[in-house]
Amino acid sequence: MDNVTHSLLGAALAKTRLGESTPLAPVALVVAANLPDFENFVLAFFDRPTNMVHHRGLSHAVVGLSILIPIFAAMVWWLSRCIRPNGRPGSFPALLLGIALAAGSHPLLDWLNTYGVRPWLPFDETWYYGDLVFIVDPWLWLLLGSAVCLAGRRTRGGSVALGIVGVLLTIGVILFADLGPRVLLPLWLTGVTALALGRCTTFGVRSPHAVVGAALALCVVYVGFLGWAGRKAWRMSQPQIAAELPADEAIVAHSVSPQPADPLRWQVVAQTRRAVYRHTFSILTSPGGLTRISTRLDDPRVQAALQTHAGRAWQVFARHPVAAVVSNRGRPRVYLMDARYGLFPAGNFASVIVDIGGVPGH
């Protein structure tokens, strides 16, 4: 998931008693909710193949979290003691619990989308995919934002900060409005206005746990609806895909993903040994626009590309692998792509380019 969603969940936890464990607990919970992504700062110095292998890696796994959580909690505890050298720094068990919940929520949220996580690294490199939520979901922003706005103590500085965040997220939603449903922007503005008005009342001040609990419950209901919609999209697409399958082909893998900000519109990808079938449609209408793409993985030039550093890294990452070969100044150039995230132009984060006989590009 995007870091806005992670941060809002950490901020929502900070509105409960977990945010009172130490003076630094509110900030610590927001940081902890993003803690596994510290790997991105390290991977920024490496090439795309290395990112494919290590992104959402050990820091998102059980082993990595079991190391990161107590280290980070100890750091926050030490800083709290520095802030209050002559006083009680707070409750370490409560701080540790809050950081564990915030950091543990990170891979859980990341699991919800088609990118997936590998929770059992370094012992098992298997990817697990939720196929439930698009990687950026404004509706989760709104639900988690309601807990942050309405629960707990309110200050003028906090209201100003939330106002700035609301404006920035609204700008993002305006950009999403071209991709999502037509009702996205009016619904978003209505929701933001309601939260702003609620912030000005006493609602939620005396029962922050109830407000946070209700917001989290609504998130679970929303994700549950997405699960139902995704299964419906797959069932709707199966007859059309089956009608296109040659007699000697069978589906070996599939994935579903909602489209940006639209829980009713889904992308379905089904894969056989020789091809990928891909289409996008609303679950309120009949599926259409099915596209068949040959994987070309048995091409000798693709096989040669798979033996390179970039090719091996891509194989670790790709869920629906597709390859294409074009001529580049008389030499074959191999495009290795993942049908989850589009095909040509093959310049996105899920693709690598290998010049056979030359240096792998990206």
Do 141 and 230 share a domain, yes or no?
Answer: no
Domain that holds residue 327: 300-355
Note the pLDDT of residue 359: 46
Q: How far apart are CA 161 and CA 141, in angstroms?
A: 15
User: Which residues share a beta bridge with 322?
Assistant: 337
Among candidate residues 170, 205, 223, the one where a domain is terminated: 223
Residue 361 is classified by DSSP as B
Whether 247 and 268 share a structural domain: yes
Whether this model's pTM surpasses 0.85 = yes
Per-range mean pLDDT, top range of 29-43, 87-101, 332-346: 29-43
Q: Where residue 86 falls among pLDDT bands split at 50, 70, 90?
A: low
Q: Which two tokens stand for residue 228?
A: 């139902």
Domain match, 209 and 247 both: no
- Provide the sign of the torsion angle of the four alpha carbons 283, 287, 293, 294, taken in this order: positive
Amino acid, single-letter form, for residue 50: T
My answer on whether 187 and 237 are in the same domain is no
Name the 3-class secondary structure at 278: strand
Per-residue pLDDT tens for 270-285? 999 999 999 999 999 8
User: What is the DSSP secondary-structure string of 43-73?
Assistant: HTTS-HHHHHHHTT-GGGSHHHHHHHHHHHH
What is the spatial distance between Cα 62 and Cα 123, in angstroms, rounded to a whole number? 11
Give a yes or no: residue 59 inside a domain. yes
Q: How many domains does the chain have?
A: 3
Q: How much is the average pLDDT of 68-74?
A: 96
Is residue 231 located within the same domain as residue 269?
yes
* 289 Rama sector, left if φ>0, alpha if ψ -120 to 50, beta otherwise: left
Q: Is the pLDDT of residue 222 over 80?
A: yes
Give the separation between CA 72 and CA 96, rounded to whole angstroms. Answer: 9
Q: Is 362 part of a structural domain of the chain?
A: no
What is the model's pLDDT at position 347? 63
Same domain flag for 98 and 200: yes
User: Domain for residue 175, yes or no?
Assistant: yes
Same domain, residue pair 140 and 185? yes
Same domain, 95 and 208: yes
Helix (H/G/I), strand (E/B), else coil: 271:
strand
Query: What CATH code is carried by the domain that includes residue 259?
Result: 3.10.450.40
